[in-house]
């Protein structure tokens, strides 16, 4: 017999919040200790952006490659697919195969989507 949930706590939310608070506590505690024991000295040059010793030239928030956006949008499409597939994956073994067929349609549409993006050149890094 495999026992569930430590200490028999049935409310998982409590445990999830415990883990979350532990994470916050770890950072806060370490920051507090570091704040107490680390040295402080002020020098205007220390506050500069670190760019290998030379002064910053131009805007730091520069333009970046549009490809990052494209991949992010494609990611959204396929990530939602995973969300939809998971509940199906849990109980697709049923006597009738309607679940398999239903998802097959969904799956084919997605594969076509990927093929379309590929053909359009969205997957190329130019």
Q: Does residue 105 interact with another protein by CB under 8 A?
A: no
Q: Based on the shown chain and the rule CB under 8 A, indicate whether residue 112 belongs to the binding site for another protein.
A: no
Contact pattern from residue 3 through residue 22 relative to another protein, giving x for each residue in contact according to CB under 8 A and a dash for the rest: xxxxxxx--x-xxx-xxxxx
Task: Give the nearest distance from C-beta 99 to another protein in angstroms.
Answer: 10
> With contact defined as beta carbons under 8 Å apart, do 48 and 54 qualify?
no
Q: Are 57 and 93 within 8 A, CB to CB?
A: no
CB of 55 to another protein, least distance (A): 12
CA-derived radius of gyration, the chain: 26
Alpha-carbon span 10 to 3, nearest angstrom: 12
Map the footprint of another protein across residues 59-88, applying CB under 8 A. Answer: 60-62, 64-65, 67-68, 71-72, 74-75, 78-79, 82, 85-86
Token couple for 22: 């532990």
**Binding residue for another protein (CB under 8 A) from 54, 90, 101, 105?**
90
> Residues 99, 92: contact at Cβ < 8 Å?
yes
């Amino acid at each position: 017999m495999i026992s569930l949930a430590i200490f028999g706590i049935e409310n998982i939310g409590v445990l999830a919040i415990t883990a979350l608070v532990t994470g916050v506590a770890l950072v806060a505690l370490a920051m507090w200790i570091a704040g107490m024991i680390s040295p402080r000295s002020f020098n205007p040059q220390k506050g500069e952006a670190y760019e290998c010793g030379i002064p910053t030239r131009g805007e730091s928030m520069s333009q970046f490659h549009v490809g990052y956006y494209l991949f992010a949008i494609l990611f959204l499409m396929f990530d939602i697919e995973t969300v939809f597939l998971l509940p199906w994956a849990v109980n697709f073994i049923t006597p009738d195969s309607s679940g398999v067929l239903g998802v097959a349609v969904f799956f084919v549409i997605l594969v076509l989507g990927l093929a379309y993006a590929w053909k359009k050149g969205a997957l190329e890094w130019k």
